[in-house]
């Protein structure tokens, strides 16, 4: 067994020990095929007001600019599909499933710190950085390149064993490791369920999402008023949106997560429509303490709830 093979085995064994569902390995290199796609996506202003996505263009395409001397990108999958889905009827206020429990950034970043520490104990001093939705790195593309899945029509990574209700995280390290083979087949076939179901028609082409139309963007990233043109199209989502995942046939393979930190707070699990209507800042802080929902702050959630309550599509 070569040193690269041993390192690959170590990476996967460590990932399994820390509770990651899958671990894929790719050679750190320039994502040549992605450059024109990213450039065109930005040119069309599909990033909306997320100006940060237009920054660090070169770093998004080459992880060696994030970690000097980087040799390997390790992609990791961490399941968040809940044991029990909160009510999602037509009259219910809805939250994206990833936001039910504690903020995933903190939960997973702690595991990544332990991951790097364990690697250094095993192989000596290595340079590396860990990322979980927190840096200019094309997570889904690296995960696809490392054999963890393929990019679906909704632009999310799909995995044949787990669907898509999972977080992606990466380690970029200057450790040589044997790469996995990429998945080159599109297992979506002719299915267009996600495109057909999107309430705001945000999926403008297979694998291309106009982020400025996505309900997740409108309820989380957009800091201004939600445009009136989306009236009656928000499907009662107050934070994020799962529609394109809920209708995806591959998510019949979703399995409940085993992460206690992702369990909804008891107050949230029993929240009613009236509770949402009467939501105060004090209750918001209590129920969503340590939650990703804090990204919108109380002001943002109230804006979203007020927009939903109007229920009138614009003329």
Task: Please identify which of the residues 133, 180, 235, 246 carries the catalytic annotation.
Answer: 133
HEC states along 241-288? CCHHHHCCHHHHHCCCCCCHHHCCCHHHHCCCHHHHHCCCHHHHHHHC
3 state DSSP class of 163: strand
Q: Do the beta carbons of residue 305 and residue 276 sit within 8 Å? A: yes
- Strand 237-239 versus strand 94-95 pairing type: parallel
Query: Is 127 considered catalytic here?
Result: no
Q: Phi and psi dihedrals of 173, rounded to 5?
A: -135, 160
Tokens encoding 280: 């105060």
Q: Do the beta carbons of residue 230 and residue 178 sit within 8 Å? A: no
Q: Which of 133, 105, 112 has its CA nearest to residue 20?
A: 112
Q: Which residues contact 45 (CB under 8 A, 6 or more apart)?
A: 212
**Is 194 exposed, middle or buried, given 0-12, 13-18 or 19+ CB atoms closer than 10 A?**
buried
Task: Enumerate the active-site residues.
Answer: 133
């Amino acid at each position: 067994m070569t040193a690269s093979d041993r390192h690959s085995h170590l990476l996967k064994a460590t990932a399994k020990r820390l509770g990651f569902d899958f671990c894929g390995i790719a050679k750190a290199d320039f994502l040549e095929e992605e450059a024109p796609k990213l450039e065109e996506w930005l040119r069309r202003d599909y990033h909306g007001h997320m100006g940060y996505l237009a920054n660090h263009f070169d770093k998004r395409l080459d992880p060696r600019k994030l970690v000097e001397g980087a040799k390997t990108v390790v992609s990791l999958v961490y399941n968040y599909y809940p044991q029990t889905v909160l009510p999602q009827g037509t009259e219910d206020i809805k939250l994206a499933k990833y936001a039910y429990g504690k903020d995933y950034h903190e939960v997973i970043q702690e595991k990544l710190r332990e991951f790097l520490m364990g690697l250094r104990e095993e192989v000596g001093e290595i340079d590396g950085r860990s990322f979980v939705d927190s840096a200019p790195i094309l997570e889904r593309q690296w995960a696809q390149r490392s054999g963890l899945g393929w990019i679906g029509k909704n632009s999310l990574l799909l995995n044949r064993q787990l669907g898509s209700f999972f977080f992606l995280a990466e380690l970029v390290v200057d450790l040589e490791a044997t790469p996995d083979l990429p998945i080159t087949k599109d297992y979506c076939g002719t299915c267009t369920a996600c495109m057909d179901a999107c309430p705001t028609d945000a999926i403008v082409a297979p694998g291309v999402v106009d982020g400025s139309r996505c309900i997740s963007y409108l309820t989380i990233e957009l800091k201004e008023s939600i445009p009136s043109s989306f009236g009656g199209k928000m499907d009662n989502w107050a934070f994020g949106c799962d529609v394109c995942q809920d209708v995806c046939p591959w998510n019949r393979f979703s399995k409940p997560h085993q992460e206690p930190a992702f369990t909804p707070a008891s107050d949230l699990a029993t929240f009613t429509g009236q509770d949402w209507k009467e939501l105060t800042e004090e209750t918001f802080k209590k129920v969503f303490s340590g939650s990703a929902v804090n990204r919108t702050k109380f002001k943002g959630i109230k804006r979203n709830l007020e927009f939903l309550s109007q229920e009138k599509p614009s003329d």
